[in-house]
Amino acid sequence: MIINSNNLTKLFITSTMIGLQSCGQSGQNTPTIQKLTITGSSTVAPLVGEIAKRFEAENSEVRIDVQTGGSSRGIADVESAVADIGMVSRALKEEEKGKLYGFVIAKDGIGIIVHSSNPVKEINDEQVVAIYQGEIDNWKEVGGKDAPITVVNKAEGRSTLELFLKYFQLKNSQIKAKVVIGDNQQGTKTVAGNENAIGYVSVGAAEYEIDQGVPIKLLPVGGVEATSETVRDGSFPLSRPLTVITKNQPEGLTEEFIQFAQSEEVHDLVRGQNLIPFQTK
């Protein structure tokens, strides 16, 4: 077969058009992956992680990256547009409401934990304050055994710390901590590994660990048992909303995910984390 220049030109044009059509058809068959980045509170993260898995299962084109680091990281990442959504284990402060949008997805309490072998069944608020200030440093002073108290405190930037300090009217500089921890799991592991330790973590997280056989127990706060039920009925004095935040009014995929996280469709996941589901009014 003899191919002249005209035939060669026609062949090239035809091949190019077929190639472009093929690329166009291939592009149409390949779904565009949408991504969400969510960072912040270690209290909120396990719940959001489970919600994200279910959302992805129902939306095959979506990928959601959930990272912890504390509520302060969630706020900073949203403000700097590093994250689409932040996680904060408290309500927004008044000065934050003008700059951020907050959406409650569940409710939780903050409970005092000790080792399960500790004979102490209850300490009042004044004793908690004295222990954290170092004024009471032996368990025998509150009805326990003769052993030094290991005070475990939360790191700066954790909402759990902020709410603990607010409730007990303390300043972080007043606390005489021997161990400083980050997330709830660190807190439960530290107390589980030290029979003389005292700490404070999410009630839901503590209940979960206790169910898994971790040797810790929750003490009452303000004379009220620390349980999901007392948090639910409002009688537990140290509770907080678990919140997701955005820099701007959410729209598109961000809005869809937040609406999903507030819906009854995830209430089983919320209860599975020993938290209280968000209820629409």
Give the C-alpha separation, 219 to 113, whole Å.
6
pLDDT averaged over every residue in the chain: 89
Give the C-alpha separation, 210 to 196, whole Å.
18
Structural contact between residues 86 and 77, judged by C-beta atoms closer than 8 angstroms: yes
Taking 70 as the threshold, does the pLDDT of residue 61 lie above it?
yes
Q: What is the pLDDT of residue 279?
A: 72
Q: What is the pLDDT of residue 179?
A: 96
Residue 85 φ/ψ region, left for φ over 0, alpha for ψ in the -120 to 50 degree band, beta for the rest: beta
Taking 70 as the threshold, does the pLDDT of residue 2 lie above it?
no
Structural contact between residues 210 and 216, judged by C-beta atoms closer than 8 angstroms: yes
First to last CA, the chain: 80
Mean pLDDT of 65-87: 96
Decide which of 213 and 20 is more confident.
213
Looking only at the bridges linking them, the beta strands covering 85-88 and 101-115 are unpaired
Structure tokens at 262: 């507030």
Q: What single DSSP character describes residue 219?
A: E
- Predicted confidence (pLDDT) per residue in 77-101, tens digit: 999 999 999 999 999 999 999 899 9
Q: What is the pLDDT of residue 28?
A: 56
Q: What is the pTM of this model?
A: 0.72
Every domain of the chain and the residues it spans: 34-107+241-277, 109-232
Taking 80 as the threshold, does the pLDDT of residue 165 lie above it?
yes
Q: What is the pLDDT of residue 24?
A: 45
Give the C-alpha separation, 59 to 118, whole Å.
48
Task: State the pLDDT confidence band at 39, using cuts at 50, 70 and 90.
Answer: very high
Q: What is the pLDDT of residue 183?
A: 83
Taking 50 as the threshold, does the pLDDT of residue 18 lie above it?
no
Taking 90 as the threshold, does the pLDDT of residue 268 lie above it?
yes
Decide which of 239 and 26 is more confident.
239
Taking 50 as the threshold, does the pLDDT of residue 166 lie above it?
yes
Task: State the pLDDT confidence band at 29, using cuts at 50, 70 and 90.
Answer: low
What is the tally of helices (H) and strands (E) in the chain? 11, 10
Three-class DSSP category at 222: coil
Give the C-alpha separation, 40 to 191, whole Å.
24
Decide which of 271 and 47 is more confident.
47
Mean pLDDT of 226-245: 92
Q: Which CATH superfamily is domain 34-107+241-277 in?
A: Periplasmic binding protein-like II (3.40.190.10)
Task: State the pLDDT confidence band at 7, using cuts at 50, 70 and 90.
Answer: very low
Residue with tokens 């009471």: 136
Q: Select 109-232's CATH number: 3.40.190.10, 1.10.1060.10, 3.40.50.300, 3.90.190.20.
A: 3.40.190.10
Helix H or strand E encompassing 167: helix 159-168
Q: What is the pLDDT of residue 137?
A: 97
Residue with tokens 């503590």: 206
The strand pairing partners of 221, in sequence order, are 224
Q: What is the pLDDT of residue 25?
A: 47
- Predicted confidence (pLDDT) per residue in 178-192, tens digit: 999 988 889 999 999
- Predicted confidence (pLDDT) per residue in 213-235, tens digit: 999 999 999 999 999 899 988 89
